[in-house]
Chains A and B, each alone.
Chain A
């Protein structure tokens, strides 16, 4: 039977709509499942003023056979088999005919009882209770009150349409009795309409200029954009996020195609597109990667016959671009170097000082990274970029459009005629904004990006700012993932713990948490971020665990380790080798470290193992040092035959204590060498069971 619900509200923010639809679907699934109502279909739809649930549910619960038990048989029946007073009383109290009573076998013994058909509850009754409960449990990123009620919701509520099988469900929510009526488009067709199922609802609203399906609205937008741009052979600059938001901002999408004076094309494309997008939610128009003097907007209207909506938007955009042109002109009058002096007055973080303090640290961190990365030829440029990279925070343009920070500084530096490495590094130093975003294209940009983010992370953890569940006030997760992504993308080899030491040294006594504690926290934090990144790239969680086992020294090595493990995981040698390693790990678990004395190696097999180990070890070490784990791993497989023979022929737990210690020492040195490549003991092989650890965010 068809179910349809529409909660009519005032305009909901797009993020709230997304949150609500997820909760609605989950809520109905859970409540109906618990109530044993069969769900044949269930989906959610929305407009800015409507949260919609449509489904096809069973008419009611299935009828069931129920067993009702009474007193134990020994009490309920006499020795003659006739009902006792207790037995008769049971029948009477349930108004059941005595002939229907029977013996019911239970684990606790035999009881008097009977079976009866229980009529299933009709779905409409279940829905009447579930609807207010599910709607009342909706939570939003920010809640508000209105009128005189203490009730909190995303925005005020105006009506509840709720029908099942063509008739209103007898229920209500926050004083709104469920009906089969709603309203059309606020401006274009505001009349009352009736609907008894999804098809009539969809049709009636479409007539009232409301398209209820976001997917359909998106299609309409894309089709209209294409139609508008086809004659120009141009494209809308792709912006999926903007498109999704606009889809949820309108009930009846109308694409507005407008133009602005070509003189504004002199502005950098970054400024143009930001002014359009941030200020006015407009798409830019491009042809062959060049911006054209047009824009696309999405209105909530059936048409723009008089062109008033287009002209209005053109006028607003022109004013905005005029402002941007004013900022572009003003900002370039003061060189970045001069402007940077003002950073003394801009607070970075209360305990971590001003942006000038940060700038001074960045110069040293970036310089250190250049030294470690052997980038001497760009060291001077990188340090100059570090000294200028925050100055754009003081420009009018960045004050107006904060999303342009970094990029604006790079553009102004280019205008000043600074070297390419300098302006590019400034431009790129906030990149990547997310894991999906590109890493800096230049080495200088990559170095400055890492320096900037590491300074923030070490500083924040160093003054006790914590990252927990949903709270990450300093964007530390994003920053740490950025550092990892840049190091991995650009294959930058530097010792991560030594970088931490250097930054801790530069911060000096500004930090309030102990150095060892900060360092441990950073290593732990980066371990969890790398785990997140690698699992997201599709590597098996246990291989990722094994790759992280040796700790985070070189960030790039963690990836190289997991790649090597991943490549080898299906080779026939892999599983026996892992089992062997685990066997070793079990034997030496918890034992104090012992040294091998070659003179005490009594048996031929252990001498051979020892000499193979020496060769394998001296071959593998340089490979490990340069991060070539695939080859190192290939080499250590060579230990397998000797190890097999060793375990077959030699008794590790020898009677003689010295010999026993020596053999355990031999196994320990093998384990130690292996741990330089990966913590193999974390790898799960066939036949073993291990619960996946809770994914870290």
Chain B
């Protein structure tokens, strides 16, 4: 195949912002090339430079071996299909398609021939003289393609051209575009952020990030052999796991060594490991490489998407004391008051304020009309040491209640292998409060003051799971265990077998299904 376009070391800056950082790329005749990346990666800028709407700050674009820098957009042998089509609203379908030929002053009968051929290529015979604004998205798309192709360009540029269509139509247009490209036999350069689109249509995919090319390859190459975590994440659903390359063909994650086919890394080099969900097989427990518990099963049409936890996260169990309703009634004042005892961290004693005490004790007073009465008295004497301290709340009319503040040492569990810490405190509640909660998991996290963090950088880690063994509708007084835990290792699996949530299973894959990548940056 002949080289058609050579992009040589293109740099583009807008003010102080560097949008393209030295892009080099060869594009061949009759090739369907996709520039793939998230918004802001510079793919559209590159396309606009090839089209001639932007001048590169540095570098060259060669076409057929000639530098085209000096050729203005309207003389270039390329045509563009714009993101929102940019059809001329004052012209009908026919005149939109004929526009370029009329500008070139081609004879009328030739124009008519060419336009009619294009109209039938994109299947719009019945819409020739329709107003373009009255067309559907898919029809407008076809007009835009026909309008560009009728000029017989060497290269057709498509800027996110399918993004405005709905999902079904987009799939249909993907096939159609590929068909059209085969039929007219010219180079298509397609810009998109949709990896599925790129995989379906392209001969060559160019993955871009922050103005640089990360990987160039065929769809199969970029899918099976992503060069780094970024490309792996961008192309397809993946399990991407932090691991260590023990030696050639042996990789370790979650304290277990696995066979793989990769080599050429340093010994004990930290790496990213990719295992595609469709490469993992579900087998009986203890029959695979690793055991796990099914956390969720989602039906996806043809297959099920199964999430299995293979090692648990960091967890902390606390005791929830369910006490009886302790409302104090003050019939003379016509008021009632309630509050509950609470546990608190020794480290928080210094920063304790009245409003925080009220909030933690959930103290409130109300009158006969069920209107809240303000708490004007908050009395407590908490020392900076472990112990139990009384605390009294009261209203203007003398309605009072006394509860205990239990100051305890920090209740922290640190898990060295997960590099995570978690803390939570015991707490008191009434059965009513449990029953009335609308988001019990969230409330339990708040009541227990549960909090988890990453020990490496102290960033917050989400509490992923709250486990308890009571029924919140029929709970009685007594003590209950509540366990808070962070997310463990979860693997995504695609399977056609039906499987139940909570099932304990084994997982298996072949050594060649593990793909090891160098860490980025």
Pairing of A with B: no
By a beta-carbon cutoff of 8 Å, the part of chain A in contact with chain B is none
Interface of B toward A, CB cutoff 8 Å:
none
